[in-house]
Amino acid sequence: MTERGGRPIVLVHGAWHGGWCWRRVADRLTDAGCRVYTPTLTGLGERVHLRDRGNDLDLHVSDILGLLRFENLDDVVLCGHSYAGMVITGVADRAAEQLHSLVYVDAYVPADGQCVLDIRPARQNEILMERVREAGEGWLMPPTPAATFGVETDADRHWVDTHCVPMSLRCFQQPIRLQSPPPRLARHYVRAARNDNDAFRRHFDTFRDDAAWRVHEVDCGHEVMVDRPSWLGDLLLEVAGMP
């Protein structure tokens, strides 16, 4: 049974970000009466003091599994942006019975055994690894500038750039290990039309011909939650079954 206020919605941020980046979307959902959770993954945002060379994908999956457990969440709409597509895929593999649906927002959707570096375009990986060597002491990934992500206003670019922090390369290097067949959950894929990342475009092209998925396209850059929060909030309300 879904409690009053609709299904709980968990919003998982991508690389370099923190729960802070969902503020506008969370406000829209809260105003509509939803229970919303915006956890920050270990080593990022206000948890940057926990950053360590060993931070990896498994740790971040455990972060969200812990949230589901200790908040006693069921029938959850689980939404992940960018790198968090890896995270929510891992969570769904281990806790499908607690989920209602998955929403990938311009995000990676891995197969078993893939890591982020396997899915990203090769040229982007070359640029990333060069930055890790030159500015990340060989293990930290410096944040991608908000302008590169296509954030639309100067104020928002400043907000994103001053809150993003470096993160462990292990998060992009560790392959996901899936223990079971894909769970039978409602699945949505959101593509940011102005983002030229070939990985996300390939996901979108594949899933729009797959009856197991619903696909959506929005006219903005990669930071959908920053530039189109009302649009994304309305989509999540629909997924959650809110009027």
Q: Residue 159: what pLDDT?
A: 98
Residue 141 to residue 133: CA distance in whole angstroms? 9
Mean pLDDT of the 89-101 span: 97
Q: Give the whole-angstrom CA distance, residue 124 versus residue 204.
A: 19
The pLDDT tens digits for 135-183 are 999 999 999 999 999 999 999 999 999 999 999 999 999 999 998 787 8
Of 62, 82, 180, 230, which is the active-site residue? Answer: 82
**Any catalytic annotation for residue 62?**
no
Helices 23-31/229-239 angle, 10° precision: 50
Worst-scoring range by mean pLDDT, 4-13, 66-75, 77-86, 219-228? 4-13
Domain ranges of the chain: 9-239
The CATH number, out of the four listed (2.30.30.90, 3.40.50.300, 3.40.50.1820, 3.50.50.100), of the domain defined by the range 9-239: 3.40.50.1820
pLDDT at position 182, please?
79
pLDDT at 90: 98
The set of residues, in sequence order, having a beta carbon less than 8 Å from that of 35 and lying 6+ positions away, is 3, 5, 6, 8, 9
pLDDT digits (tens, 9 = 90+) for 1-50: 334 467 999 999 999 999 999 999 999 999 999 999 999 999 999 999 99
pLDDT tens for residues 99-132? Answer: 999 999 999 999 999 999 999 999 999 999 999 9
Asked if residue 220 lies in contact with residue 192, where contact means CB atoms within 8 angstroms, the answer is: yes
* pLDDT exceeds 60 at position 199: yes
| CB neighbour burial string for 53-85, b if at least 16 within 10 angstroms, e if fewer | eebbbebbbbbbbebbeeeebbbbbbbbbbbbb
Q: Residue 96 and residue 156: Cα distance in Å, rounded?
A: 35
- How much is the pLDDT for 5? 64
